[in-house]
Structure 1
């Protein structure tokens, strides 16, 4: 069990790591605005025991980019570009250290889910799965759809709240459409309510996906 922290040379911030070093699945977790990696550790704890180890970088100043995610892209630069580059490099480092692409899972909540959604849709690559809780692509305007097979077969679990105060359901749905257009295997559910939370159902679904990925039970 690695319960320590390390430095992320790209963000200049710490990286929290936990879980068995020999676990077959690696989860890269991105926290929301005003949160720290420990939030993602607590969220993962709600999944129950998992065959996974976690890597959770901290955003500078607890925020990946400064303005609301539906502002024009330029309003969040250069921070947005730096954050996308940093997570891209974190993925490269995990793959370069021996993690198979099929065993790498992305997990994000709120601003972190927005960042990972945008990363997958604008810089698609083969990975194991994505768990995106209350997020959508970034910017004021629609983004181009990825190539039809860019995310071919990638399991993407999308969960949100119908009247979430920060992330409107229509942006979640628009993002889901882009995932489907790119060939992802989408599991989408928007729960009733008006709180900015991760539901118990989302945690159960996320845990099930990770277990099935580890067991090789995904089609």
Structure 2
């Protein structure tokens, strides 16, 4: 299965904005849902782009299942995220003014996309997620983040995302020259916390 080309928008138009935020929803969520989170973020001067997963799921199995079990959904999802980024670039917004926000399955997809396309971005917020695959294939990852700020927030324990994978993701991103911050919240549940929103607003959407 491949995802339909569907990208919801909000905020400023791409033609009027100098910055763009790509927001990626979790399993069972929607583009509209994730766009509603923008009211809590300091992104009034951003164009907002939210790709929509077909059937509300980016890939069918756990993000730590063998990659081939999540194909062709995963590759199609990455292509859809890239389409959103290309729309921003095509409107004249440079890479270093493109930002990412993802939760859960959307955080995993965000991080996988970023690691495969490392360069200087405005910043990224990934809440409860890590790079994808039963084992990590570093051959997929290339580029230099040039100190792009990336926030990884997670609960411990989390039923879906092991803390070990969050830490492995941190190390991969740092090796690719990202400025990575990890915050672990004990028994916080599978949710976006106000503390994470506050951190993102102070350090990334500033």
Q: Choose from 45, 48, 54 the match for 1:60.
A: 54
In the TM superposition, 1:133-172 aligns within 5 A as 133-144=127-138, 146=141, 150-172=144-166
Give 5+ residue unaligned stretches, structure 1: 1-9, 213-219
Q: Choose from 4, 9, 22 the match for 1:12.
A: 4
Secondary structure in 2 aligned to 1:69? coil
Secondary structure in 2 aligned to 1:27? strand
Contact kept, 8 Å, 1:50 with 1:207, in 2: the verdict is no
State the Cα distance separating 1:16 from its structure 2 match. Answer: 1.8
Contact kept, 8 Å, 2:98 with 2:121, in 1: the verdict is yes
Structure-1 separation of matches of 2:33 and 2:120: 27
User: What do residues 112-165 of structure 1 show as CA deviations (whole Å, max 9, x unaligned)?
Assistant: 110111111123233211111111011101221745x62121111111111112
2:80 match:
86
State the Cα distance separating 1:46 from its structure 2 match. Answer: 2.5
* Number of aligned residue pairs: 202
Structure-2 separation of matches of 1:182 and 1:14: 31
Structure-1 separation of matches of 2:65 and 2:7: 28
In the TM superposition, 1:160-199 aligns within 5 A as 160-199=154-193
Structure-1 separation of matches of 2:86 and 2:200: 23
Structure-1 separation of matches of 2:99 and 2:66: 28
Does 1:103 pair with 2:97? yes
Structure-2 separation of matches of 1:83 and 1:36: 14
Secondary structure in 2 aligned to 1:28? strand
Q: Does the C-alpha gap of structure 1 residues 86 and 13 become closer, same or farther in structure 2, counting only changes over 3 Å?
A: closer
| TM-score under structure 2 length normalisation | 0.90
Give 5+ residue unaligned stretches, structure 2: none
Contact kept, 8 Å, 2:99 with 2:121, in 1: the verdict is yes
Q: Point out the more displaced range, 122-131 or 112-121.
A: 122-131
Structure-1 separation of matches of 2:3 and 2:27: 15
